[in-house]
Amino acid sequence: MMQNKHILIGITGGIAAYKICSLIRDFKKSGAEVKIICTPNALNFVTKLTLQNLSQNEVYEGEFTPQNWKPEHISLSDWADIMLIAPATANTIGKIAQGIADNLLTSVACAFSKKMIIAPAMNCNMWQNESVQKNLKTLQARGIEYLPPEEGFLACGYNGKGRLCSLKKIYNAVDEALNYSETLKGEKVVITAGGTIEEIDPVRYISNYSSGKMGLALAKSAYDMGAEVVFITTKDFEVPFKKVIVKSALEMKEAVEKEFETADYVIMAAAVADYRVKEQSEQKIKKGDEDTITLELVKNPDILADLCQKKLAPHPYPLPKGARERNCIIVGFCAESENLLENAKAKIEKKGCDFLIANDISRKDIGFNSDENEVTILDKNGNITKLEKAPKKIIARKILEWISTK
């Protein structure tokens, strides 16, 4: 719902600026209040009069025209619930990433402390430029969301990635961001992600196909819902919250246990290897004359089951510094290629976790490496809830809303 929400739109000097007119109309039809900031070059592509009529508000451009003795870059920042920059040029992306505030739009961006979304649009060669990609990673690390451009025919005559993403995608991203509740404010949420790596020798290892995308979506959603997030991952994602990079199951176990005593939620979304090599070779194993090779594997610790046992164990007194009574909600994940519900029911009973998220990895349209998922939530009381196929960030939010209100 956008009724009475305040949306601040920044328009920069790209040909896609004209498309934002339709987006403004859609926001207004949904009941939102819209104000617009243009860079000087943006007005070469769309007129101020058009934007004023669509938004039913003044269009802001100059930085030194304060109203009611309030500097505009502060008053606009205070007014808005969310800031959207679309289209975002390479120039403006670079300025915001580096903290340059040389016009009204970049000054507002510098002062803005709430949710910000940018939708880049530029020539495909500019998009692939190393500096542009580095600037985007910098913005991501600050919690700024960006909607990647799409492939297609560009105004400059090139075919490639650089077109402004669909207006529907932008609208949905803003709508989703505005409707995040702060259900997890003040809570500490520990989330694991990615597939663990069990080394065989200095060049080989045992792992799995987990991309870490589901864990990342959960971590970002928990952060947007106000949580203090600790993200324990085998993948080096750019995130605006605490990140702990691990490799093996043993390293992940150590990192999770370190955070467990002070956690309100632990969500084990990582694909942890069941086995590791008993003896890692310190040197690369050379190919010999034999047609086969035998590796002796040993079972890895069951991090999820161990946490559930630890939760039930008597707490040592006095409590360790920062620790709290063990009422932590523990959530496991279950990736199955057959008999999804049967295996999930057996797993939640065996592990003893509060919730179990089951997903079918036999389907190619969801799960590993996909941007979408479809999951079934089981709780320890035997209740089952299915979340239909949707982008992982939407699935993540629904999972968090479900486990935090039950």
- C-alpha distances out from residue 38 to 165, 239, 294, 312, Å: 19, 29, 65, 57
SS (H, E, C) the chain: CCCCCEEEEEECCCHHHHHHHHHHHHHHHCCCEEEEEECHHHHHCCCHHHHHHHHCCCEECCCCCCECCECHHHHHHHHCCEEEEEEECHHHHHHHHHCCCCCHHHHHHHHCCCEEEEEECCCHHHHCCHHHHHHHHHHHHCCCEECCCEEEECCCCCEEEEECCCHHHHHHHHHHHHCCCCCCCCCEEEEEECECCEEEECCEEECCCCCCHHHHHHHHHHHHCCCEEEEEECCCCCCCCEEEECCCHHHHHHHHHHHHCCCCEEEECCECCCEEECCCCCCCCCCCCCCCCCCCEEECCCHHHHHHHHHHCCCCCCCCCCCCCCCCEEEEEEEECCCHHHHHHHHHHHHCCCEEEEEECCCCCCCCCCCEEEEEEEECCCCEEEEEEEEHHHHHHHHHHHHHHC
Neighbours of 368 (CB within 10 A): 19
Residue 353 bears catalytic tag: no
| Identified catalytic residue from 110, 124, 156, 165 | 156
State the CB neighbour count (10 A cutoff) for residue 319: 12
331: β partners: 267, 355
Contact of 165 with 119, CB cutoff 8 Å: yes
Residues annotated as catalytic (active site), given as ranges: 156
